Structure 1
Amino acid sequence: MTVIVTDSTADIPSALAKALDIHVIPLLVNFGSESFADGVEITNDQFYRKLTESNDLPTTSQPSVGAFEELYRSLGGPDQPIISIHIAAQLSGTIRSAQQAKDLLPDYDIRVIDSESTTMSLGWAVIIAARAAKAGKSPDEIVALTESVVKRTRLLAGLDTLRFLEKGGRIGKTRALLGTLLSVKPIINVLEGEVRPFEQVRTKKKVIARIAEVAKDLAPFDELCVLYSRNEDEARAFLEQLSSIHPREKIMMAEIGAVVGTHIGPGAIGFTGVRKGV
C-alpha cells in the first residue's frame, strides 16, 4: 500500500490521521531560544497561551532534510511507494526539504506534491490521498487524484488583524490592506500558494456573513471544513450556517494549529472546501 506523508500545517485531527495511517512530520515553532515540534512538543492550548503572553511573536521553521530522510527510510525500502504532500512552496521551505531528502534516496519511489495551500486545504488533499491508498489505488492514480483535489480546493478566512501575517513575512499581496488595519476585519484567501486579499469588512458579524455567502456561491462541495483559532463557539455557529449547503454531519471542524496560528493569530474563522468535480 502506498504510504502518505504530510506536515503538521495540515491541521488534520490526530485521530483521523491515525485512522488513515497518515505520517505527519512536524514543523518547529520558536519562542525566543525555545523550539517546539508542532503538535508533538506543544499543543494548541499551550501555543495560543504563549502567543498571547509573549512580548515577541514566535517564528516557525521547516523540518530539516535529515528529518525527512529519516522518516522516509523508516517507512520502508525502495519497493515502498511514498507520496509526500506539503504546505505551499511559497509559504514554507518544507517542500524543498522533502525534495532534497528524496534526492538523497534515488532508489526510493517518493512523489513530492505541492498542495499550493496550507491548513485543512492541504489536509483535504492528504485525507483524500490516504483514503485512496487504503482503497488500493496505485501511486499514479493517487497522484492524479491529489492534483485534482488541489485544483478544486478553496480557502477563505476572516482575521481579527493582519499584524501576525505582516510580522511573519507571509503577507504577500495583502500589503494593500495594511493602511486600514485598525478599522477593518480583513478577509484573505490562498490561491496558487499565495496569501491574497479578498475583501475588507467592518465587523466580525459581516466577516462571517460574507464568507458564508462565498461558500454558497462555490457550492456544491465534496468536502467542507470550518477553520477557527480559539473561537470554537463562533465556528460552531458558522457551521450551522453552512449546513444549508452541505450535510451538517459531514462538515468537519479543525482548529488552526501552531505554525499557521503564528501567522494569523487567534480569532480567525473561515472554511476550506473541495468543490465537486465536473
Structure 2
Amino acid sequence: MNKIKIFTDSTSDLTPDLIKENDISIIPLYVNFDEKSFKDGVDISTEELYRKVEEYNMLPKTSAAPPAEFYKTFKPYIDDNYDIIFIGLSSALSSHLQNAVLAANQFPEGRIHIVDSLNLSSAIGLLVMKAVDFRNEGLNAFEIAERVKALVPKIKTAFIIDTLDYLFMGGRCSALESFFGGVLKIRPVVKVVDGKMVLGQKLMGKRARALNTMLNSVIKEKGNISPERVMVTHSISNDAGYLKNELNKHIDVKEIIETQAGCVISSHCGPNTIGILYIEK
C-alpha cells in the first residue's frame, strides 16, 4: 500500500501545531488588494489583513490557487509513491476545489482523491483531522476519502458575526441593514447550507447574550456530538476561552480545539467573529 499524504487549503484554519504534528500540507488561497497578491497565511496574517482593510478602505478580493500550482505541489508526492487526499473549501464558494480536480486529472486514476467539504473554516479542519484518524488506523486513501465524504453532511457549524460592516462591504447586506445593525447591535448567526454561507437568526443586544444563545444551542445537542473533538474558531476574538470552558463543563468530548480564522474567511466575516463546529454522531 502506498504512503498517504493529506492536503487541505488555508481556509481549514488549522493551527500550525496541528498541521506539523499530523503531517498535513496546506495549499493556500490568495488575498488580493489592488495589484498586490498575498498567499493566505503565508504572505499575510489575519491581523495584517485587518490593517490593510483600514488602509485601503475596502475588502480584498480572494482567489483560488491555479491548477498549475496544485500540479506542482502534488507531483513530488506522486513521484515518491504517495497517494494523496485533498479536502478543500466548498465548491459552491470558490473554484479552488475545481482547480484541484483539474490537477488531479493529470495523474494516474486513483492516485489523488478530492473531497468537497461543502463547508468552510474549521468545519474543513474537522474533516481533515478525521482523515488523519483514519490514516492512523491503517486505511488506504480510497477508504479514507469515502469515509470523510460520508461525514460531510454530519458537520454542524454556527458563527456569530460581530459587525455587519464586512457583510455590507462584501455585498451580503444592504447599507440600511448595516446601519441599523450597528445602532441596534444586531449580530447575525451565519451557517453553511448546501455548501453556501447563509444568514440565519439575528441576535440583538449584548454580545454575551449572543454567545450564550449559540452556546446553549450546541449544549442542547450534546447527545448527538461525536466524542473526538469540537472546534472553537474565531477571528481575533477574546471569547474563545469562555466558550471552551463552558463546553468543557457541559459536553463530553476528548478535546476542544481553539483555532483562528485565516484571511480568506476573515475577509468575509470581519473581526471578533466566533463559532462552534462539530461532527454529529
When the two structures are superposed, what TM-score results if normalisation uses the length of structure 2? 0.89
Offset at residue 144 of structure 1 (A): 2.5
Is 1:241 matched with 2:246?
Answer: yes
Q: CA–CA distance in 2 between the matches of 1:98 and 1:58?
A: 23
Deviates more, 1:120-129 or 1:201-210: 201-210
5+ residue gaps, structure 1: none
Alignment of 1:104-143 (within 5 A): 104-107=106-109, 109-143=111-145
Offset at residue 133 of structure 1 (A): 1.5
The letter of the residue matching 1:149 is L
Offset at residue 208 of structure 1 (A): 0.3
Alignment of 1:16-165 (within 5 A): 16-77=18-79, 79-107=81-109, 109-165=111-167
Offset at residue 75 of structure 1 (A): 1.4
Determine helix, strand or coil for the equivalent of 1:76: helix
Is 1:209 matched with 2:212?
Answer: yes
* 1:29/1:35 contact within 8 Å kept: yes
Offset at residue 274 of structure 1 (A): 1.2
Give the number of aligned pairs.
271
Q: 1:206 to 1:273 in 2, by over 3 A?
A: same
* 1:78/1:107 contact within 8 Å kept: no
2:276 to 233, 248, 271: 271
C-alpha distance after superposition, 1:22-55 (max 9, x if no partner):
1100111112221111111112332233234431
The letter of the residue matching 1:216 is I
* 2:58/2:169 contact within 8 Å kept: no
* 1:78/1:108 contact within 8 Å kept: no
Specify the alignment match of 2:14 in structure 1.
Answer: 12
Q: CA–CA distance in 2 between the matches of 1:227 and 1:121?
A: 9
Determine helix, strand or coil for the equivalent of 2:50: helix
* 2:28/2:39 contact within 8 Å kept: yes
Offset at residue 151 of structure 1 (A): 1.8
The letter of the residue matching 1:112 is I
Q: CA–CA distance in 2 between the matches of 1:48 and 1:250?
A: 30
5+ residue gaps, structure 2: none
* 2:219/2:251 contact within 8 Å kept: no
Offset at residue 250 of structure 1 (A): 1.3
2:230 to 224, 228, 231: 224
Determine helix, strand or coil for the equivalent of 2:87: strand
Q: CA–CA distance in 2 between the matches of 1:132 and 1:37?
A: 29
Q: CA–CA distance in 2 between the matches of 1:262 and 1:158?
A: 15
Offset at residue 79 of structure 1 (A): 4.6
Cα root mean square deviation, aligned: 2.1
* 2:234/2:260 contact within 8 Å kept: yes
Offset at residue 226 of structure 1 (A): 0.9
Q: Percent identical across equivalent pairs? A: 27
